[in-house]
Amino acid sequence: MADRDASARSLIHTRLAQSREELRAILDPPRGDPGGGGMPGEGHGGFARGGFPRSRTMRVLLSSRGLGTMGALVGGLLLARPALALRLLKFVPAGAVAKILMARAVDALKSKSGESN
């Protein structure tokens, strides 16, 4: 009886470890991907080690895929419940968002002018 429980427990632990590795592979950006869509001003387009943002969640959200997902989410919320979306918009720090958008725009213009030279 105890042997069956131990083998079942071992199988469960193996499955959990496998699912954790699958989640890490999905959520973590590839280690050698220089064009992963980092913040403007960062070297090689990635996030600096120990720099902003430090949390893995914020790095995922601020990557190009994360921003696309957030944009789709906000667009869907605006279409489905505009009053709630406008109420939630009051909590967004407009100054910080504007700075990030301006930095991305300037970085995009710099990269375009660098390609044409």
| Residue 12 covered by a domain | no
- Residue 84 lies in domain: 31-89
| Residue 66 covered by a domain | yes
Total domains, the chain: 1
The DSSP letter of residue 33 is -
pLDDT of residue 46: 53
Task: Write the pLDDT tens digit of every residue in 32-70.
Answer: 554 444 444 444 445 555 567 778 788 877 787 887 888
Task: Write the pLDDT tens digit of every residue in 80-93.
Answer: 999 998 898 888 88
pLDDT of residue 43: 45
| Residue 65 covered by a domain | yes
**CA dist list (Å): 107 to 28, 61, 84, 100, 101:** 24, 19, 33, 10, 10
